[in-house]
């Protein structure tokens, strides 16, 4: 009998009496842009006494031991080893590994056997470390802080303050145990006697000095980030000569025991060796370091996507992924901030950053800042809504959430903690409507409907997992990056009915969240996985954890046979998403 039933079923299918109940996934996902090997950019670099090479990434919370010949990662030290926010690194006489934890204001140490961790609180915004040849350890703060200290290498005895007014982004000892420092905003290289506490200016005509180092012969070198050069400095003649090119984003550098020069790049995450003739050998490739906000621009047949990359704002071809332009954050007046989110504003872009708290309106054609707002304490997102700016601000210590509408009439609070808001992240506006996604509660809240502010935030969808980027497609449906489940979902709002939520793409490399012990210095979202859609309906998603940008195309409707033999459109609304979920997906699993 079983054979008869199978034969009847086969005939029925061949004559079009039934349609298949199996539906394919509604989209195809490809990686449009592959990022750098090291996420977050590369900061401090150093060699130990055996010519082992180390590099740090402040935003990846990692220190890497790297083969300088091949670029092979020999070891990685991360938060499980106590490493957090490593801006600079130093190797102790016994091969212990030290790092300056910038946002934590402390110095960490990993013992020579890499088994024991110790930390010591110093002062906020520690950026530099240096050992003298006789084993004395110093640390300095910079950017937002100041102070030069001598530390007990065991990190047991309290630090000794040498000078509370010194700020230095990089320090190094000369053979006579005098300490040299790069004063990044003072345009100087200084020299300090750490016993006497006296300070002398060595060079006072640099543009943006980033690092200082000595080679094995005691020669002094300094990087100038603005000039994109490493300069050899002769104190006797008070002259500087170009020693090597840095490239945009080059800053920290180190010499091995044979005086081979290696530089790191915090803009693109690359590490390179500079040969005696200026030849550049790439040790680790550069590229995207942490893709965040995405904005799409269409000009004729050309689609550009702008991506916030923490230290840079990058423009790519939406079809090929080719890089078209790059704007740099030099922390100087008139430059972009460290862009976390990017959103369209007519011919301009709205940029926001909690790293160096600011909201900016920037013109891609003129490369000019049109407007800048520095009074938001922790802006995690900002968009244009009609004639207003909408800013999601987490406030002091990332614990005073609010959504602010700013226009010529002043500020209006659209939602805050008193109205149930916890962690506003995604923002999107369309046709007089405004929504915000609450990362912590998994809710989508509508704040403005048909141009009118609602009496309070209204829940229009819930049950989402850490929603970040939001977008509205041509049919009025909302796209949501659910970072907690590493997927892109689509919400179809239905008047008087529960919204329909569907999975569009899964296994996305999204969801870089803050480490629990650093919640006071970074928002819980940490970075921002965004979504944007172009005029052709192509979707772009930033994978901040995998360090990629995805290109997602919705599959077109297919003709299917009905029982009367006529063709009908297979609507992707009926696609069944009840398939194996990706809850147990490992971020290192091969992409689909």
CA distance 462 to 441: 8
Write b or e for each residue in 255-287: b if 16 or more Cβ atoms lie within 10 A of its Cβ, otherwise e: bbeeebbbbbbbbbbbbbbbeeeeeeeebbbbb
The helix/strand/coil state of 401 is coil
Mean residue pLDDT across the chain: 89
Task: Count Cα neighbours of 124 within 13 Å in the Cβ-side half-sphere.
Answer: 5
Structure confidence at residue 6 (pLDDT): 36
Structure confidence at residue 592 (pLDDT): 39
Structure confidence at residue 186 (pLDDT): 80
* Whether 452 contacts 417, CB under 8 Å: no
CA distance 495 to 498: 8
* Whether 382 contacts 402, CB under 8 Å: no
* Whether 272 contacts 279, CB under 8 Å: no
Structure confidence at residue 559 (pLDDT): 52
Which positions ≥6 away from 199 have C-beta within 8 Å?
A: 163, 166, 190, 191, 192, 193
Indicate whether this model's pTM tops 0.85. yes
464-485 tens-digit pLDDT: 999 999 999 999 999 999 999 9
- In the numeric block, the tokens 């930033």 are attached to 542
Structure confidence at residue 518 (pLDDT): 75
H-helix or E-strand containing 75? strand 73-77
Q: Which domains does the chain have, with CATH numbers?
A: 45-284 (2.130.10.10), 294-555 (2.120.10.30)
Structure confidence at residue 20 (pLDDT): 34
- In the numeric block, the tokens 């980033």 are attached to 210
Q: Of the candidates 306, 287, 388, which has an alpha carbon nearest to the alpha carbon of residue 35?
A: 287
Strand ranges (E), 518-573: 531-533, 539-543, 548-554, 558-561, 567-570
Kindly tell me the number of DSSP H helices and DSSP E strands found in the chain. 1, 50
Structure confidence at residue 247 (pLDDT): 86
Q: What are phi and psi of 518, to 5 degrees?
A: -120, 25
Structure confidence at residue 558 (pLDDT): 58
Q: What are phi and psi of 405, to 5 degrees?
A: -105, 115
Structure confidence at residue 276 (pLDDT): 83
The helix/strand/coil state of 132 is coil
Structure confidence at residue 564 (pLDDT): 52
CA distance 110 to 524: 27
515-544 tens-digit pLDDT: 777 777 899 999 999 999 999 999 999 999
CA distance 263 to 285: 12
* Average pLDDT, 10 consecutive residues per value, the chain (592 residues): 38 34 64 94 94 95 96 95 95 96 95 95 95 96 92 98 95 96 89 95 88 96 91 91 90 94 94 90 94 92 94 95 92 87 97 95 95 96 97 95 97 97 97 97 98 97 97 96 97 92 96 80 93 96 95 75 48 38 36 40
CA distance 401 to 395: 6
CA distance 503 to 552: 13
CA distance 344 to 350: 6
């Amino acid at each position: 009998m079983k054979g008869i039933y199978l034969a009847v079923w086969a005939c029925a299918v061949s004559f079009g009496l039934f349609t298949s109940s199996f539906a394919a996934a509604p989209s195809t996902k490809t990686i449009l842009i592959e990022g750098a090997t090291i996420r977050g950019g590369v900061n401090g670099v150093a060699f130990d006494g055996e010519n082992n090479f180390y590099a740090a990434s402040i935003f990846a919370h990692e220190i890497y031991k790297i083969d300088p010949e091949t670029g092979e990662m020999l070891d990685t030290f991360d938060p499980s080893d106590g490493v957090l926010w490593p801006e600079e690194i130093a190797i102790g006489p016994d091969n212990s590994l030290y790092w300056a934890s910038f946002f934590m204001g402390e110095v960490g140490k990993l013992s020579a056997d890499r088994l024991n961790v110790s930390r010591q609180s110093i002062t906020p915004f520690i950026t530099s470390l240096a050992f003298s040849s006789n084993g004395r350890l110093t640390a300095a703060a910079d950017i937002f802080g100041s102070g030069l200290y001598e530390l007990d290498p065991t990190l047991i005895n309290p630090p000794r303050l040498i000078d509370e007014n010194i700020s230095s982004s990089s320090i190094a000892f000369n053979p006579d145990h005098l300490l040299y420092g790069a004063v990044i905003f003072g345009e100087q290289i200084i020299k300090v006697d750490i016993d006497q506490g006296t300070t002398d200016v060595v060079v006072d005509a640099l543009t943006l000095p980033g690092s200082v180092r000595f080679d094995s012969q005691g020669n002094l070198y300094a990087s100038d980030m603005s000039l994109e050069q490493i300069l050899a400095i002769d104190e006797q003649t008070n002259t500087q000569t170009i020693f090597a090119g840095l490239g945009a984003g080059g800053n920290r550098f180190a010499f091995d025991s044979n005086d081979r020069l290696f530089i790191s790049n915090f803009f693109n995450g690359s590490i390179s060796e500079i040969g005696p003739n200026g030849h550049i050998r790439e040790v680790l490739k550069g590229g995207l370091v942490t893709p965040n906000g995405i904005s799409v621009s269409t000009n004729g047949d050309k689609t550009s996507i702008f991506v916030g990359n923490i230290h840079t704002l990058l423009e790519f071809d939406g079809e090929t992924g080719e890089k078209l332009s790059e704007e740099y954050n030099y922390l100087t007046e008139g430059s972009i901030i460290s862009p976390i989110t990017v959103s369209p504003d007519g011919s301009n872009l709205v940029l926001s950053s909690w790293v160096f708290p600011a909201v900016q309106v920037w013109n891609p054609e003129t490369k000019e800042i049109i407007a800048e707002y520095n009074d938001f304490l922790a802006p995690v997102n900002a968009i244009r809504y009609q004639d207003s700016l909408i800013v999601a601000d987490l406030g002091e210590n990332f614990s005073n959430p609010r959504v602010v509408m700013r226009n010529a009439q002043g500020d209006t609070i659209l939602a805050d903690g008193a109205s149930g808001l916890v962690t506003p992240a995604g923002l999107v506006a369309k046709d007089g409507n405004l929504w915000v996604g609450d990362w912590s509660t998994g809710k989508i809240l509508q704040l403005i409907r048909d141009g009118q502010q609602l009496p309070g935030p209204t829940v229009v969808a819930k049950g989402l997992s850490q929603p970040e980027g939001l977008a509205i497609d041509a049919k009025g449906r909302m796209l949501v990056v659910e970072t907690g489940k590493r997927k892109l979902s689509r919400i179809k709002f239905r008047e008087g009915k529960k919204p329909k939520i569907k999975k569009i793409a899964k296994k996305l490399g999204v969801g870089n969240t803050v480490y629990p012990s650093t919640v006071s210095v970074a928002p819980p979202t940490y970075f921002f996985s965004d979504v944007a859609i172009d005029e052709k309906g192509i979707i772009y998603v930033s994978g901040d954890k995998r360090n990629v940008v995805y290109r997602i195309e919705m599959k077109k409707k297919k003709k299917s046979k009905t029982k009367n033999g006529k063709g009908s459109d297979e609507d992707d609304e009926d696609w069944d998403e009840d398939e194996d979920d990706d809850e147990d997906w490992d971020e290192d699993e091969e992409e689909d």
